[in-house]
Amino acid sequence: MATDIQKISGLSSKDAALRLRRDGFNELPQTRQSPLFIFILKLFREPMFLLLLGGVALYFILGDIAESMMLLVFVIVIMGITCYQEYRSEKAIIALRNLSSPRAFVIRDGKGIRIAGREVVSGDIIVLNEGDAVPADAKLFSVTNLLVNESILTGESQAVRKSSVDETDTRDIVRSGGDDLPFVYSGTQVVQGNGYAKVIATGINTEMGRIGVSLNTLSTDRTRLQKETDSLVRNFAIFGFIICALVVIIYGVTRMDWLQGSLVGITLAMAILPEELPVVITVFLALGTRRIALSKVLTREIPAVEALGSATVLCVDKTGTITQNRMTVSQLFDGDDSSGVFGSTLSENFHQLMEYGVLASQRDPFDQMEIAIKSFGECYLKNSEHWHQSWQLIHQYPLSRKLLAMSQVWESTNGKHYVIAAKGAPEDIFELCHLDQNKIKEIQSEVEVMAHKGLRVIGVAKASFPQKKLPDGQHDFNFEFLGLIGLEDPIRPNVFESVRSCYQAGIRVIMITGDYLSTAKEIASQIGLNAAKGAFTGDELAQISDEDLEKRIKDINIFARILPEQKLRIVNALKANGEVVAMTGDGVNDAPALKSANIGVAMGGRGTDVARESAGLVLLNDDFSSLVTSIRLGRRIYTNIKKAMVYLLAVHLPIICLTAIPVIFKWPLLLWPIHIVFLQLIIDPTCSIVFEAAPEEADIMMCPPRRSKEKLFNRRSVFLGLMQGFGVLVLSLGALLVTKFLGWSETDTRALVFAVLVISNIALIFVNLSEHFSLANRDILSNRVLWIVVFTTLSFLTAVLTIPTLKELFYF
């Protein structure tokens, strides 16, 4: 038997808070912020850190205690910077994991509210609907066609049927598995129907907790960019250590000083090894997810951030994404007459239509369409005989793939027959009412009129049935057609600009909706969607092969009357044509399409937990404009990573050459480990903080999407980095030759070359920070971290060039 939500009070808020304090949060042990010593231990596995310690040891062996201590201080500073970067990255990821936790619909203080799943307590009354993740172990006391997927516990992919608890059943809980058990278990998924249950176990006391399974909702696998940089660093490391060994041998053989040769080798290895690359990628992606979250988009899978910049197609739902999902009843049709203007009273002709529209909706609705119908009915029918708050709900017949209509069976206070109210897609209501073709054609013309206005149209019907065993399906009732309800859903205010921004960025927008084609075309015209090449309906889609769809989808931007399972075909056809697809979805049946899309985007407000867990991104406000903003931020992240990569290449080239050239030509050495470490103190925070904070380019959404397989170090990036690095090298060698011509000492020459190298390093930061460099650029002037780095660098440079003790330590 179905249950009235109004008759359930649930826990009080005060009682729930007390139980939460007593029992703790409803969650399994999760990964927490790593302590500081874990970050320090990780450093001992880094090649650069080991090289630095090697340099400290060699200085100590050579008796240069001051140099050894100075280098050790720098090592500690670099450790601090690296640990801070790792800490920020891990903190961002853990914060996102906590945000990603499932939600729960509970009844407290007699009202239904949606809370975080971790806040559910023992004794809570939870409401389960299709697509929900079960938040805790609970005992069912009311179910309607409830099927639950328990494969996470049992390994069986087939959903199991649930029943309500028998009054004689005193069991607290039994093991999962099998049909007709009155229990649901934490972490399982509702695939059909609905039910009410009382929580009996939370957290580690659940079935999930007892078997020790921990669900991490955020993937932390290495991304494509991270794998690319890992490979690059590994290759550079191998190359660097080979060159290092050769330099040590050459220096030792030619100058007969193997300890100094080892120091030179360490210096060169430090110059070659681009150990900043993995840190840059990790920090940019982790902090990028936080920036994206500020625009109301939650990142559940880090690779989705990488893919955002290469998205070529956005497939979006109309309802709630393009529109506001705040429906109002705009027009009524009773089978003969139509009205779209409502004053203080509603014509008697429409009373029965709205009466059964309300009866076909949930008594305490969550769906925006049902909220609109109930609000409208309450406004005009509340004090009339057509308002039935005292009736008891007996049974529900939910929507199905074969029949897009639902019915609710009510027991009236004085009748001997059950009253059945049905609502759904007009064509399915026609089918339930067994209307003849002439009548269908007549009503269909009114449907088209409403659809042309951009309204969402549903049909309403009624039936009665003797108070005996109810039939299995809705077709067994003798329904009478009552009319149509047209609902208006206003378009979100920023959608027009967002669609135009997508077109400027070379991104195609496809609208997918279950509404009528006329409705879809009207909405498309209002938002500026390019629909010149026609549209497709679900029926047409069902009649063509995948090969034909791949050919025809190249020009089609509107898909109407689409079933959720047809979205997967659309996504696969687009991917087969080489598109990078972002797909939005909110229902259980959207999950396969979300999984298949390059970027699955679930709705955070109205989306099911199944959809959320299948997606890489979650729109917390269900707004299309937020998705476009996240694409812009994704492009910014990738662009800034490329800027950092060019800077790294440019800055490493002269350091490598200025270390190797004196060895080859038997000149006095210009750079020692202490100089390399000083430069690292500039390079590390610049790459991971200054470039990460760099604002987007003004024309970032005027460029076409990047190729999905584009490498960070493509020909253009390598050429740009080499040219910049070569320019710095020429300046440094020029300074070296001038000092030789003027007869300067070795220490003065080293000081000048080092100063040129540091100042050129600062210049490289400014040059690469923006593709349209200008010192008058407000974004550069407002980059606080940049000026901190510049001021600190120049202050330290001045100190080592003027303070005698530091000059001696730096061999100046």
Catalytic site positions? 317
Q: Are 106 and 112 in contact (CB under 8 A)?
A: yes
SS3 call for 587: coil
Closest CA to 354 of 324, 368, 374: 374
SS3 call for 618: strand
* H or E element at residue 15: helix 13-23
Strands (E) across 546-672 are located at 558-560, 581-585, 599-603, 617-619
Cα 626 off chain centre by: 11
- What's the CA gap between 385 and 444, in Å, rounded? 30
Query: What residues have CB less than 8 Å from 168, skipping those under 6 apart?
Result: none
Query: What residues have CB less than 8 Å from 293, skipping those under 6 apart?
Result: 96, 99, 299
Query: What residues have CB less than 8 Å from 419, skipping those under 6 apart?
Result: 359, 391, 409, 410, 411, 412, 462, 463, 464
- Residue 323 DSSP one-character state: B
Residue with tokens 């060169």: 268
Q: What DSSP letter does each residue of 468-535 carry, written as one string?
A: SPPPSSGGGS--EEEEEEEEE-PBPTTHHHHHHHHHHTT-EEEEE-SS-HHHHHHHHHHHT---TT--
Q: Which two tokens stand for residue 172?
A: 């607290």
- What's the CA gap between 407 and 611, in Å, rounded? 25
Q: How many CB atoms lie within 10 A of CB 763?
A: 14
Pairing of strands 392-397, 405-411: antiparallel
* H or E element at residue 463: strand 456-466
Closest CA to 769 of 699, 697, 684: 697
Pairing of strands 125-128, 189-201: antiparallel
Give the end-to-end CA distance of the chain in Å, rounded to a whole number.
89
CA dihedral 233, 234, 236, 242 (to 10 degrees): 150
Q: Are 602 and 618 in contact (CB under 8 A)?
A: yes
SS3 call for 460: strand
Query: What residues have CB less than 8 Å from 246, skipping those under 6 apart?
Result: none
Cα dist from 541 to 215, 404, 530, 544, 762, whole Å: 38, 18, 20, 6, 58
Q: What DSSP letter does each residue of 179-214 carry, written as one string?
A: SSBSEE-TT-EEEEEEEEEEEEE-GGGSHHHHTT--
Q: Which two tokens stand for residue 227?
A: 């794998």
Phi, psi of 408 (to 5 degrees): -125, 135
Q: Which two tokens stand for residue 405?
A: 């209509």
- Residue 301 DSSP one-character state: B
Q: How many CB atoms lie within 10 A of CB 290?
A: 16
Cα dist from 373 to 328, 379, 381, 428, 609, whole Å: 8, 10, 11, 19, 26
Q: Which two tokens stand for residue 25?
A: 């949060």
How many alpha carbons fall within 13 Å on the CB side of residue 668? 15
Q: Which two tokens stand for residue 419?
A: 């009253």
Q: What interhelical angle do 495-504 and 624-665 show, nearest 10? A: 40
Q: Which two tokens stand for residue 211?
A: 């078997």
